[in-house]
Structure 1
Amino acid sequence: MLSRDEYLAAWARWHGGTDPAASRLVRGWLTAAYTLARPVAGLPPVVATAVGLLVAVASVGPALAGGYWLLAAGVLVGLSGLLDSLDGALAIATGRASRRGYVLDSAVDRLTEAAYAAALWAAGAPGWLAVVFGALCWLPDYLRARAGQAGVAETGDISVWERPTRVAMTGMTLVGAGVVAGAGSDVPAVVVTTGTAVGALLGVVAVAQLGRAIRRALAD
């Protein structure tokens, strides 16, 4: 199994040269995934991928229930994010990474983010805002993929709206709403709407960051 530094370097190669050291959150998230992967190195990465998706979808149930169940929804979102990172750590650190697995993992990421948006809507965010949130989870990675098809080898530094940030924002928003569930029926919905709006704003900033980096790369 690769060392942690070797794993981070290999992760960067699989992600368009993006340096995880540019963000403490991303580096810490990847380090946590690598640490979790070490004792289960023999586990097929696809198992972690599938379980992560199921856990993300399961978060919608307690979000619909509302009240203190929102705490469970937030925990499930965080767990799904860790499982998603675990599959990548298992694949890369054990030398089992493949183009097929990379595409599958990216597709499942988008499905889990759709589940996050659905959980936020179920918890009280306006439907249109939840849709915008979900779209802005997808758009940065779509831009990176299209830039790669256009021959761009690197897409700049890590943005403010990478996957760990999306998971953390969704999970903390739902947990925060659960914490204040006893303060009044409208308070959790306000917390969820605010968190969803902040996430969407970060998505807009990330698209601008990536757009600028990709434009420079395409001009060279």
Structure 2
Amino acid sequence: MTDDAGWSELHGGVQPSPVVRGWLRLIRALVSGPVSRIPPDVLSAAGVVVLVGAWACVAGLGWPGLVVPLVLAAGILDGLDGAVALRTGRARPLGAVVDSVADRLGDVALGAILFALGAPLGWVLAAVALVFLLEYLRARAQAVGMPGVGAVTVAERPTRLIVVAMAAGGAAVFPAGVPLLGWGWGVLFAVTWTAVGVVGMGQLLYGVRRSMPPQFPPVR
């Protein structure tokens, strides 16, 4: 769903911010064009390919500046696959699985980009592991029918895309590292991603706890 009410319904009743509303308008405009004829699974796969290309720009070519538009393009593709599926009536369970797998592969590619930007492997693994754990917890809670656990956390995929884009943009503008801090851009944003992941996990755990039905009926 690309309308505000549909987005809110899919995200635990959370009302979209002005930024999200603008994003939904962009997706609606793109879906209304020729892109609607592209199979949703192809869009999902294309998003992964674009992120792998972004990694190659850093690891192979040493061009971090190209990562920013490529990460933005991957984010747009990530929003388009579901929107096209719903608009054209091609939404199906297998498509949701393909989309989920593509998202996790994309998260690995994002971690690889930070590693190529100089982030320590330990921080990258911690950041990506938190993503996998958060998404697994959400999926398991939804599978057993807990309502409300799809609510948005601070650690959602758009945040991860923004974090990596900022790291690459910083590396392109200030190759020597973060001014004043003396850290590499990959290090700074791998730590940021991990910290945001911890907060997001806490939010999701709280949501799961609130969604759990009581074990016993209340005593009257």
Using the size of structure 2 for normalisation, the TM-score is 0.85
Shift of 1:138: 2.3
In structure 2, what is the Cα distance between the partners aligned to 1:136 and 1:31?
A: 31
Counterpart position of 2:66: 72
SS in 2 for 1:155: coil
Amino acid in the other structure paired with 2:99: D
Specify the structure having the higher radius of gyration (Cα): 2
In structure 2, what is the Cα distance between the partners aligned to 1:127 and 1:149?
A: 33
- State the percentage of identical aligned residues: 36
Gaps of 5+ in 2: 215-220
- After superposition, the Cα gap between the structure-2 partners of 1:208 and 1:27, relative to the gap in structure 1 and judged at 3 Å, is farther
- After superposition, the Cα gap between the structure-2 partners of 1:129 and 1:167, relative to the gap in structure 1 and judged at 3 Å, is same
Higher relative contact order (CA 8 A, sep 6+): 1
SS in 1 for 2:12: coil
Q: 2:117, 2:186 within 8 Å by CA — same for their partners in 1?
A: yes
Q: 1:71, 1:175 within 8 Å by CA — same for their partners in 2?
A: yes
Query: Which segment is superposed worse, 144-153 or 189-198?
Result: 189-198
Counterpart position of 1:87: 81
- Listed one character per residue, the Cα deviations across residues 14-38 of structure 1 (whole Å, up to 9, x for unaligned) are x4x5345244444443432222221
Pairwise mapping of residues 84-123 of structure 1 onto structure 2 (< 5 A)?
84-123=78-117
Counterpart position of 1:175: 169
Shift of 1:172: 1.6
Counterpart check, 1:57 vs 2:52: yes
Using the size of structure 1 for normalisation, the TM-score is 0.85
Shift of 1:9: 4.0
Q: How many residue pairs end up in the alignment?
A: 211
SS in 1 for 2:112: helix
Q: 1:33, 1:85 within 8 Å by CA — same for their partners in 2?
A: yes
Gaps of 5+ in 1: none
